[in-house]
Amino acid sequence: MEDKLAIVTGANSGMGLATVIALAKKGINVIMLCRNEERGVKALQIAKDESQSDGIELMIGDLGSIDSIHRFAEAFKTKHNKLDILINNAGVVSLKRQETKDGFESMLGVNHLGHFLLTNLLLDELKASPQGRIVVVSSGAHKWGKIDFEDPYFKSGYNVAKGYGRSKLANILFMRSLHEHIKKTRVTVNALHPGAVATNIGVDRETGFGKRIIKLLVPFFRTPEKGAATAVFLATDEKVSSISGAYFYDEKEVFISGLGQDNELADRFWKWSMEQVGL
C-alpha cells in the first residue's frame, strides 16, 4: 500500500488521529486535514512517532468555510493527481446553536455540508485511483434525525440532540446519493457508526468548554482506536473492495433505519446540498 494516498479530516485528535496512525502503519501516505495549525503540528508529530512513518503530511482547511475548502482542494490538486482514500471523519457537537462562516448551523455545516463540498471537489482525483474509497463517519444518531427543508438550520427550536441527529442522517443520505452518482466508476462509498467513542467532539472549538465532562465519561466509552477500526477496515480491506452504498458497525454491514432509506428524500437533499455549497 506504499503508493496509496489518503486524506483524513478532523485528524488532530481522537478518532481522526487514531485513523491516521492506523493507516500510516499499513504503509499508506496520509494527509491530515486539520482546522487549527498549532494543534495540527502537535498531532502530526504524535502520528509520526506512533506510526514510525514519514509518509504523513499536515494540510490546513476549515470544513466550516466554503472558501477554505476550495483553497484546500486547489492546494491538494497542485501536488497530487490522484487520491485513493478519503475519510470524512471530522465532526462537531454544538451545545448551543452556532453558525459557520457561511451562515450554516454548525453541525449540519461542518458534519455534512463541508464534507459534501470537499468530496465533490476531489471526485476526479478519486476516480483517477485504481480503486478510490470514500468513508463517511456517521452515527447511530441518524435514527432520530429528520430533515426540515423549511428550517434546515434550526433558526427556531434548536436542540443539540435533534441537530446532531439531523447532521448524521445527512451523512447517510449523502452516502447513498453519492453511491448512485458514482456507481459506474471504480470509486466506492460507505458509511459507518463508530460506536460511542471518547473524543473531543462535544468540546467547544473556540472555548474548550466540555473537556472536563469528556474526561469523566472516558471510562464508559470506546477508545478512539476501537472507534477508528471500522473506518480503517472500509478504507483498506479487500473484503469490502466491491461494496458500496452500505452502512457498517464493527466491520459488519448493518441496516440503515427510517428516513435514511428514503430515495426521494436522498435525491432532494442532494440537490439542496448542491445549492447550499454553490455547486
**Residues with catalytic roles:** 164
Q: Are strands 29-34 and 5-9 parallel, antiparallel or unpaired?
A: parallel
- Give DSSP secondary structure letters for 27-89: T-EEEEEES-HHHHHHHHHHHHHHHT-S-EEEEE--TT-HHHHHHHHHHHHHH-S--SEEEE-
Interior CA angle at 249 toward 271 and 18, to 5°? 90
Distance set, CA 231 to CA 2, 100, 102, 174, 263 (Å): 19, 26, 29, 17, 25
277 vs 43: CA distance, rounded Å: 29
Query: The sheet that has 56-60: what strands, in order across it?
Result: 56-60, 29-34, 5-9, 85-88, 133-137, 188-193, 247-249, 252-254
Q: Using alpha carbons, select from 76, 89, 85, 59 the residue that is nearest to residue 121.
A: 76
Q: Using alpha carbons, select from 61, 197, 64 the residue that is nearest to residue 138.
A: 197
203 vs 220: CA distance, rounded Å: 17
Q: Using alpha carbons, select from 52, 113, 121 the residue that is nearest to residue 86.
A: 121
